[in-house]
């Protein structure tokens, strides 16, 4: 699971669902677990998934969503082989 939301409220009440936004704006249809990552309000998260799961795609989509809709956060994506 991707972090704990700890009861955080969305930063803006009119904020739309991240998974739906990604579907509509980016044309990417996330599977249920990927949608869970997109919807998480956690400030930090770690993905430990199999190869070809879409980790880079999901984190990039979330970064685009955060920078376009929320605009008050920084996003850092790191990786290691």
**Phi and psi of 40, rounded to 5°?**
-65, 135
| pLDDT the model gives residue 41 | 85
Residues 6+ apart with CB under 8 A from 51: none
What predicted TM-score, i.e. pTM, was given to this entire model? 0.69
Residue with the bigger pLDDT between 46 and 13: it is 46
Query: What would the pLDDT profile of 7-43 be if each residue is shown by its tens digit?
Result: 454 444 456 799 999 999 999 999 999 999 999 988 7
Task: Give the start-to-end residue ranges of the domains of the chain.
Answer: 1-81
Residue 51 pLDDT greater than 50, yes or no:
yes
Query: What would the pLDDT profile of 55-74 be if each residue is shown by its tens digit?
Result: 989 989 998 888 888 776 66
């Amino acid at each position: 699971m991707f972090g704990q939301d700890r009861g955080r409220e969305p930063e803006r009440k009119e904020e739309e669902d991240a998974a739906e936004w990604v579907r509509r704006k980016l044309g990417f249809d996330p599977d249920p677990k990927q949608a869970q990552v997109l919807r998480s309000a956690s400030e930090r998260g770690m993905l430990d998934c199999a190869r070809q799961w879409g980790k880079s795609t999901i984190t990039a989509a979330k970064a685009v969503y955060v920078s376009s809709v929320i605009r008050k956060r920084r996003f850092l994506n790191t990786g290691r082989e």
